[in-house]
Amino acid sequence: MPPPPTAALSSSSSLCLFPFSSYSSPKKTQLGFCPSFPFTRLINVTPTRRLMTCSAVSIEKETLISHRPHSFLRETDGLDDGSVRSRFLRMIMEVQDSVCGALEAVDGAGKFKEDAWTRPGGGGGISRVLQDGDVFEKAGVNISVVYGVMPPEAYRAAKANVTDQKPGPVPFFAAGISSVLHPKNPFAPTLHFNYRYFETDAPKDAPGAPRQWWFGGGTDLTPSYIFEEDVKHFHSIQKKACDKFDPSFYPRFKKWCDDYFYIKHRDERRGLGGIFFDDLNDNDQEMLLSFATECANSVVPAYVPIVEKRKNTPFTESHKAWQQLRRGRYIEFNLVYDRGTTFGLKTGGRIESILVSLPLTARWEYDHKPKEGGEEWKLLDACMNPKEWI
């Protein structure tokens, strides 16, 4: 696996109530990151390129508001002008509604609590959490919109031409949706997904500079027990979404997902994969917007039928204990390897936002080894040796 960028931002597995921010101060450039917003890199770089370490970090606090606004775009951007920004924002707001509606219908009793907020520098978001329902232990579905300023060294690192030295800070825009869903039943899998769009504007001192943009995201499945028909169903939906645009997408993004969700100290993957991609801008922008939309809209048909099938499956205390051990692995990945989470913890981010993706309960046992050939062993083997499910 390639090493993570030193000043990069990730997270594909965590949620935040407020996104990362960056801005200039009269004394120094300050760069703030979301504690766990779903952007895996602040700038568009190759996997082996590292970024300069920023001089300081800061997180701008959110302001809670009493109602959900029509848009989080600045008026100067146009609230609904047909731009990629406005269409992506409209898409993630619609996906948040559709996913939350589908999950409430599956749960039957639990309802999402909603917090809406804005930021002084522009943007805002909507955080929704369903906790301790009949089916879901915890489910979070958040959207965020960010306006900020990228330090000049980050802009230079993002450019392929190293002689292109823009002296001033570079404005950027970012928007995304991120979700983690933890069911109670150990036979129903955890799901994570996020989709995001990032764009830079021309610096004030270089009005002719080209605008940069890219997409990122993915959807991945983390079961405690393997039901092959469930895993094949999930992966077939991911492949179907990919194949509509490029037959090379699924094998490429499936491997990327297997490699990304790797718990190095355990030598195993967090789950059974799915798709994952980042810094995607080597195709037509309209095509990639449609691709991200297709992937986001595939979440419900990929996941809900599995939960419906497994949510009432009888289970024992032993099954539940194994689920709790796998939840422990989930936590280990988030707290040890998820760059957005660890960065937020080190920079004073809002703890409730940083840790909202974690389950309510988990378990660690000393030197636990499942019986070889058993159902638990089969899951562990698949996490250590990624398989081609379809």
Residues 69 and 117: beta-carbon distance below 8 Å: no
Residue 261's closest CA among 316, 188, 185, 339?
Answer: 339
By annotation, the residues acting in catalysis are 192
3-state secondary structure of 326: helix
Residues 275 and 295: beta-carbon distance below 8 Å: yes
Q: Which residues, other chains included, contact 8 with Cβ-Cβ below 8 Å and sequence gap of 6+?
A: 40, 41, 42, 43, 45, 51, 339
Q: Measure the CA–CA gap between 387 and 258, rounded to whole angstroms.
A: 9
Residues 296 and 233: beta-carbon distance below 8 Å: no
Residues 52 and 153: beta-carbon distance below 8 Å: yes
- What is the residue type of 159? K
Angle at alpha carbon of residue 151, lines to 50 and 156, rounded to 5°: 50
* Cβ neighbour number for residue 114 with a 10 Å cutoff: 14
Q: Which residues, other chains included, contact 307 with Cβ-Cβ below 8 Å and sequence gap of 6+?
A: 106, 135, 183, 188, 189
Q: Measure the CA–CA gap between 78 and 385, rounded to whole angstroms.
A: 48
